[in-house]
Amino acid sequence: MQKRIRIVVILGTISLIGLIISQIYWLQKAFDIKEKELDQSIHVALINVAHDMAVFSKISAPNPNPVIQLSANYFVVNINDKIDANVLEHYLIQEFQKNNISLDFEYGIYDCENDNRVYGDSISLDENTNTETIGINLPKYEEYIYYFGLRFPSKTNYVLGNYKNWIFSSLILIIVILFFSATLFIILKQKQLSEVQKDFINNMTHEFKTPISTIKVSTEVLSNPDILENPDRLKKYIDIIKSENFRLQQQVDTVLRMADIEKHTSDLQLEEIDIHGLINEIGSQLELRLEKKGGSISYQLEARNYRKLADQLHLKNVISNLLDNAFKYSKEEVDITIRTSDLKDKLIIEFIDKGIGIAAEEQKRIFNKFYRVPKGNVHNVKGFGLGLNYVLNVIKHHRWKIEVESSLGKGSNFKVII
């Protein structure tokens, strides 16, 4: 299945790139064709104007092709005699209308014999367009003596304006590409969620199966009447059942807490809390576990502004989760430090350990739901991957911040900014 999805993504990506390249190519081709058609129409119209001017002035006709295109939007036309501006305008408008050219243009009449521009003006073939004659400065062409030059300032926009069908088809293609891209994204997202869900279910099944099996074995032992004759053994198995039952309850509470904080984001029970007192209370509970493992927890509670508004239950769970992670991901010798400090009107709580650390590329993902740092097939640290996601949700709903600094083999520092 995974291989098929990878093939679909690769083929889809290649198809999208191919469509984009082909559309750009054909858009450019269509634009070039339209521009050449317009240039040809202008060329024909200007040749007719040159011949009309020659007939009007009763002079010999200019050479068969008196028009030269000096740039994309600038043309010069050779005339063998002085040019009357009014006559020229009349023939230009007449020929442009005859050839269905509705482009605005600027023109200038030049007399290179006297080295000056005789006249210049702007003409609009669109009645709704206002034109200005100020600042018309067309380049000179030294090869002709009497000539006029035309520039079409809006030629590119004019070509694009006759380009509506292609633009419409391009928009349709863009919509199709966006739809296809969104489909690919959804497929990949669903695949990722499916894998995460599968890992979570497998992990949860394993986590529940172990204490259930232990309780089952213990109850079978307790069902033996002979157990009553051995009080120490009886107490041992009762303690095992209590411990495993407590473990099951914790696992269920973890899942329920996650659902609760997501569904009831506005139901935080805010009250003023002594943060230092809460840290000491939760830390003392961890000290019992540290005694068995031979570790230590130190407190550097230096903040003065340590009373804050918060939901006590959720804040307690946040501190417990962060301390529990520091404990679980420590090396053989556990060394945890809780530090508080003031930053203007904010309170900073740091949970520092000297454990295995987190790689830089994993630090952005550790707060994702169900995410656990991959360790191959080794699962020596139990959990659902919900703890840090729960912490992040609680902090967001309180409008606080959390930061993490960590490096492999050197430990981690989780900072809660209240």
Read off the amino acid at residue 391: V
Decide if pLDDT at 414 tops 80.
yes
Cβ proximity of 414 and 404 under 8 Å = yes
Residues 225 and 326 occupy one common structural domain: no
What was the pLDDT predicted at 274?
Answer: 93
Read off the amino acid at residue 362: E
Residues 105 and 53 occupy one common structural domain: yes
Most confident of 12-16, 57-61, 277-281: 277-281
Residues 399 and 336 occupy one common structural domain: yes
% of residues, the chain, pLDDT over 90: 9
Q: CA dihedral in degrees (280, 282, 288, 290; nearest 10)?
A: -90
What is the domain range of residue 206? 164-263
Closest CA to 317 of 227, 408, 390, 386: 390
Residues 292 and 402 occupy one common structural domain: yes
CATH number at residue 375: 3.30.565.10
Cβ proximity of 340 and 348 under 8 Å = yes
Task: Point out the domain boundary residue: 130, 161, 192.
Answer: 161
Report the mean per-residue pLDDT for the chain: 78
For residue 262, the tally of other CB atoms under 10 A from its CB is: 13
Contacts of residue 354, Cβ cutoff 8 Å, sequence gap at least 6: 330, 331, 335, 410, 411
Residues 55 and 186 occupy one common structural domain: no
Write the CA distances from 79 to 76, 94, 121, integer angstroms. 10, 18, 18
Q: List the structure tokens of 102.
A: 């509705």
161-188: average pLDDT: 74
Q: Which single residue is written with the structure tokens 């442009």? A: 96
The whole-model pTM stands at 0.48
Residues 390 and 413 occupy one common structural domain: yes
Residues 91 and 214 occupy one common structural domain: no
Residues 62 and 81 occupy one common structural domain: yes
Q: Which single residue is written with the structure tokens 């290649």? A: 14
Residues 37 and 106 occupy one common structural domain: yes
CATH number at residue 184: 1.10.287.130
Residues 144 and 12 occupy one common structural domain: yes
Q: CA dihedral in degrees (91, 94, 98, 102; nearest 10)?
A: 110
- The SS3 of residue 99 is coil
What was the pLDDT predicted at 117?
Answer: 63
Task: Point out the domain boundary residue: 240, 263, 286.
Answer: 263
**Per-residue pLDDT reduced to its tens digit, 39-81:** 888 888 888 888 888 888 777 766 677 888 888 888 988 887 7
Contacts of residue 214, Cβ cutoff 8 Å, sequence gap at least 6: 240, 244
In angstroms, rounded to a whole number, what is the distance separating the alpha carbons of residues 82 and 71? 25
Read out DSSP for 319-380?
A: HHHHHHHHHHTS-SS-EEEEEEEEETTEEEEEEEE-SS---GGGTTTTTSTT----BTB---
Domain count for the chain: 3
In angstroms, rounded to a whole number, what is the distance separating the alpha carbons of residues 54 and 46? 12
Q: List the structure tokens of 355.
A: 């454990």
**Per-residue pLDDT reduced to its tens digit, 102-148:** 888 888 887 766 666 667 777 877 654 444 444 456 666 666 777 88
Q: Which single residue is written with the structure tokens 């570790």? A: 295
Closest CA to 148 of 99, 110, 112: 110
Closest CA to 282 of 334, 325, 321: 321
Task: Point out the domain boundary residue: 263, 293, 319.
Answer: 263
Residues 301 and 189 occupy one common structural domain: no
In angstroms, rounded to a whole number, what is the distance separating the alpha carbons of residues 375 and 185? 27
19-27: average pLDDT: 78
The strand ranges marked E within 85-237 are 105-111, 116-123, 146-151
**Per-residue pLDDT reduced to its tens digit, 338-396:** 999 998 889 999 999 888 888 887 888 888 776 666 554 334 555 556 778 888 888 98
Q: In what order do the strands lie in the sheet with 411-417?
A: 296-301, 335-343, 346-353, 411-417, 401-407
Residues 153 and 186 occupy one common structural domain: no
